[in-house]
C-alpha cells in the first residue's frame, strides 16, 4: 500500500508541474497578429490578439513583435518592455475616449515603442496617445499619433526619467487648455531629459510644451531636425515657476504657421538656445517674458511672421 501511495504522489507531482509551468512561464519574445487569440501562448506560430494579452506573457525586459498589420488594443505597461511593429506589420492602437499606451513602470525600467499607429478617433476622441507616469526611460521610434483631446505624448514622470522621440508624426493633438503634441511636465522633484529628433508636430493646439511648474527638478530638452507647424497656439513653449530650470536647445527646426507665438518662453530660469532654425509665418515670431530668455547662435531666420517677428534676448557665438 505504501508503494501505491508513493506512485500516486509522484504522478500528481508530475501532473502539477506540467500544468503549472506554462501558466507561470513568461517568454522573452512574444508575437501578436490580427488573426491571433489571447488564449494562445503568444509564440510565433500561436500569436496573441492584443498587446494587453501579450504583455502578460512577456518577461520583464522582453519584446513584443507584430506578425502582420492589425488593431492590437490599448495597453498599460508596468515593467521594462519593447514593442516592435515596424515595416509592413505596423501595430495599430485605437484609443477612443481613453489613453493609447499608459506607462507606469519602475524607476530603472526602459520602454521602447516602435512602429505603432495610435489613433484617438472615434465617438469620443482619445485622451493621450502615450501617458507616461513613471519609468526610467521611454523611446518612441517611427510612430504616428493623431486625434487626441489631450496630448499626443504626455511625459509627466514622478521620478527622474528620459524621453527620446525619433522619426515620429503627431497630428491633431490637444483640444483645450495647454495640451500639446508633446507635453513635458515632470512632477515632484523629478528631472526630465528629452530629445526630439526628425519629428513633425502639426495641426494641434500647442506643438511642444516644456513646463516646470510642477517640479523642483529640471527639464533639459533638445529638439533637432524637426517641424512644428500649423498648431493653433504656440509652436514651442518653455515655462517654469521659481524653482525649476527649463532649458531647450532648438537646432535646425522649422517653426511656421502657428496661430500664436513661434517660440515662447516665460519665467525665471526658463529659456531656449536656438540655432540654424526658421521661425516664419506665425502670428508672432519670438516672445520672452517674466525673465525667460531666447538665446540665438546668430544663424537663425526669423521673418514673415504676421504680427511681429520679435527679437532674441541675446546672441552668443557658435563654437
What pLDDT digit, counting tens, does each position of 278-313 carry?
A: 999 999 999 999 999 999 999 999 999 998 999 999
Q: What's the average model confidence in pLDDT over 172-195?
A: 96
Instruction: Using alpha carbons, list the distances in angstroms from residue 270 to 9, 44, 145, 188, 293.
Output: 70, 49, 28, 18, 7
What is the per-residue pLDDT for 242? 64
Grid cell at residue 215: 517640479
Q: How far apart are CA 153 and CA 145, in angstroms?
A: 8
What pLDDT digit, counting tens, does each position of 46-72 carry?
A: 999 999 999 999 999 999 999 999 999
What is the per-residue pLDDT for 243? 66
Q: How far apart are CA 165 and CA 228, in angstroms?
A: 14
Helix (H), strand (E) counts: the chain = 2, 31
Concatenate the DSSP letters of all residues of 43-67 into one string. Answer: -SSS-BSSHHHHHTTEEEEEEEEES
Please give the residue that has the higher pLDDT: either 152 or 9. Answer: 152
Find how far residue 147's CA is from the centre of its chain: 15
Q: What's the average model confidence in pLDDT over 165-191?
A: 96
What is the per-residue pLDDT for 318? 79
Beta bridge partners of 315: 296
Q: In sequence order, which residues have a C-beta less than 8 Å from that of residue 16 and are 6 or more positions away?
A: none
What is the per-residue pLDDT for 264? 98
CB 42 within 8 A of CB 50: no
What is the per-residue pLDDT for 319? 72
The DSSP H or E segment spanning 173 is strand 169-173
Q: How far apart are CA 48 and CA 280, in angstroms?
A: 48
What is the per-residue pLDDT for 123? 85
Measure the CA dihedral 158/163/168/173, to 10°.
20
Amino acid at each position: 500500500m505504501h508503494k501505491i501511495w508513493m506512485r500516486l504522489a509522484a504522478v500528481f507531482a508530475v501532473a502539477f508541474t506540467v500544468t503549472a509551468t506554462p501558466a507561470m512561464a513568461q517568454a522573452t519574445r512574444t508575437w501578436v497578429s490580427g488573426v491571433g487569440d489571447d488564449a494562445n501562448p503568444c509564440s510565433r506560430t500561436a500569436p496573441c490578439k492584443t498587446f494587453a494579452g501579450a504583455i502578460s506573457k512577456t518577461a520583464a525586459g522582453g519584446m513584443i513583435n507584430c506578425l502582420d498589420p492589425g488593431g492590437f488594443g490599448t495597453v498599460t505597461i508596468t515593467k521594462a518592455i519593447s514593442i516592435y511593429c515596424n515595416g509592413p506589420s505596423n501595430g495599430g492602437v485605437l484609443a477612443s475616449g481613453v489613453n493609447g499606451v499608459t506607462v507606469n513602470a519602475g524607476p530603472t525600467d526602459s520602454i521602447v515603442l516602435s512602429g505603432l499607429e495610435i489613433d484617438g478617433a472615434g465617438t469620443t476622441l482619445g485622451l493621450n496617445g502615450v501617458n507616461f507616469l513613471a519609468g526610467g526611460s521611454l523611446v518612441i521610434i517611427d510612430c504616428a499619433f493623431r486625434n487626441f483631446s489631450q496630448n499626443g505624448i504626455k511625459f509627466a514622470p514622478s521620478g527622474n526619467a528620459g524621453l527620446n522621440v525619433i522619426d515620429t508624426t503627431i497630428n491633431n493633438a490637444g483640444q483645450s487648455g495647454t495640451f500639446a503634441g508633446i507635453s513635458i511636465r515632470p512632477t515632484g522633484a523629478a528631472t526630465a531629459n528629452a530629445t526630439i529628433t526628425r519629428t513633425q508636430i502639426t495641426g494641434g493646439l500647442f506643438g511642444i510644451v516644456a513646463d516646470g511648474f510642477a517640479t523642483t527638478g529640471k527639464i533639459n530638452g533638445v529638439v533637432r531636425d524637426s517641424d512644428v507647424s500649423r498648431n493653433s497656439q504656440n509652436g514651442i513653449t518653455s515655462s517654469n515657476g521659481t524653482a525649476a530650470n527649463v532649458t531647450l536647445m532648438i537646432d535646425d527646426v522649422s517653426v511656421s504657421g502657428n496661430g500664436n507665438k513661434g517660440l515662447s518662453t516665460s519665467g525665471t530660469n526658463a529659456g531656449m538656445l536656438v540655432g540654424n532654425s526658421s521661425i516664419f509665418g506665425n502670428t508672432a515670431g519670438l516672445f520672452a517674458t517674466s525673465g525667460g530668455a531666447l538665446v540665438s547662435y546668430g544663424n537663425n531666420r526669423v521673418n514673415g511672421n504676421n504680427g511681429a517677428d520679435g527679437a532674441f534676448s541675446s546672441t552668443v557665438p557658435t563654437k
